[in-house]
Chain A
Amino acid sequence: MALLEVRDLKVHFNTDDGVVKAVDGVSYSVDRGQALGIVGESGSGKSVSSLTVMGLTRFFSNAQISGEILLDGKDLLAASDEEMRHLRGSEISMIFQDPLSSLHPFYKIGDQLVEAIRTHRDVSRAQALDRAVEMLGLVGIPEPRRRVDGFPHEFSGGMRQRVMIAMALANDPKLLIADEPTTALDVTVQAQILELIGRLQNELDTAIVIITHDLGVVAEVTDEIAVMYAGRIVERAPTDTIFSAPEHPYTWGLLGSIARLDAPRGDELVPIPGRPPSLINLPTGCSFHPRCPYVREAHRRIDPSLEPVAGDSGHHVACLLNTETRKRLWRLLEAGTAPEEARAQVGLEDDVASPKEASL
Chain B
Amino acid sequence: MNPEEAKQLFYRHVWPLRALVLRTARYLTRDAAEAEDLAQETLLKAYRSIATFDVSTQATAWLTAILRNTRIDRARANRRESGDVSLDAFAHGAQDRSDRTSPVDLADVAALLDRLSDEQIIDALRDLPDDIRWTLLLVNVEQLDHAQAAAIMGVPVGTVKSRAHRGRQMLRDKLLGTRTPQKHQSDGG
Say if A and B assemble together.
no
